[in-house]
Copies of this chain bind each other. A is one copy, B any other.
Amino acid sequence: MPVDNDRDHERVIFCVSDHTGLTAEAYAHGIISQFDKITPIYRSRPFSDNADKVAAVVTEVNRVAESGARPVVFSTFGDRTLQEQLDGSHGFVIGLFNHWMDSLSEVLDAKPSRQVGRSHGIVDTVQYQLRLDAVDFALQTDDGLGTDHYGRADVILVGVSRAGKTPTSLYLAMHYAIRAANFPLSPDDHSESGLPTLLQPFGDRLFGLTIEPRRLHAIRTQRRPDSPYAELEVCRSELAYTERLFRAEGIPVIDTTTRSIEEISTTIIKQAGLERRA
């Protein structure tokens, strides 16, 4: 009987926390993605903030361990007792906070608060408001809208339709409270030479997005099948136009073809030297 290699390399990965579990998830995805061979099956168990809830997770981990490959458990607990309870499971447990807490405590000359599921109070209210304002800004100035607000923009993303401008603007707003507008460079602009008049006062805040023609064709086809808008030749021509424009105007540019929204956003922050507000 042939070995079922795919199933052999499936592995259940738990992310457990007494809070959102986002740190454990980010860490798990980051380190597990280093292992090409492994097909991870993620199970998130956030807000496991008392002994009963952790006991339920331990039972689940042990059940997986009994029935197949040993599961890997990434965890972040403020509460050491809950972490130790989880450590008693039959999974391979990586207690992300606990492991470095003592040495970090020494270096920082401070004691951790060990609160369960910390909430952050006043600082978060300010941060929340900054992010909310930035999201509002991104929505107001999405896709060429609200150009009268451009004076307040930290960055204005430009590029052809479906190059990734909207999700990037929203990500920059949501995560960093950066005010990102976005403006589509559409076929109508082709007649103009150089930058559309509206954008000219903001040359130093522009950031270009580009994408490979075939990928753009695929994205547009999914959106409007068989439309002229989605034709490969139209995609090629629009992209050639915007790339010429970016070069001529010295606009920095990122190719979004094989990049995630996170990669696009962090690259823009770094290259444009944007300041994070949150």
| Segment of A122-130, A187-195, A245-253 in the binding face | A122-130
Q: Is the CB of B101 within 8 A of A31?
A: yes
Q: Chain A interface mostly helix, strand, loop or mixed? A: helix
B26, B125, B270: the one within 8 Å of A47 (CB)? B270
| Contact A139 B166, CB 8 Å, known A174-B261, A258-B119 | yes
Chain B min CB distance to A228 (Å): 20
> Residue A227 at the B interface, CB < 8 A?
no
> Residue A56 at the B interface, CB < 8 A?
no
Contacts of A41 in B (CB 8 A): none
Interface size on A, residues (CB 8 A): 74
> Residue A181 at the B interface, CB < 8 A?
no
Encode contact with B along A118-141: 1 for CB under 8 Å, 0 otherwise: 111100110111011001000100
Contacts of A30 in B (CB 8 A): 22-23, 76, 96-97
Contacts of A11 in B (CB 8 A): 108
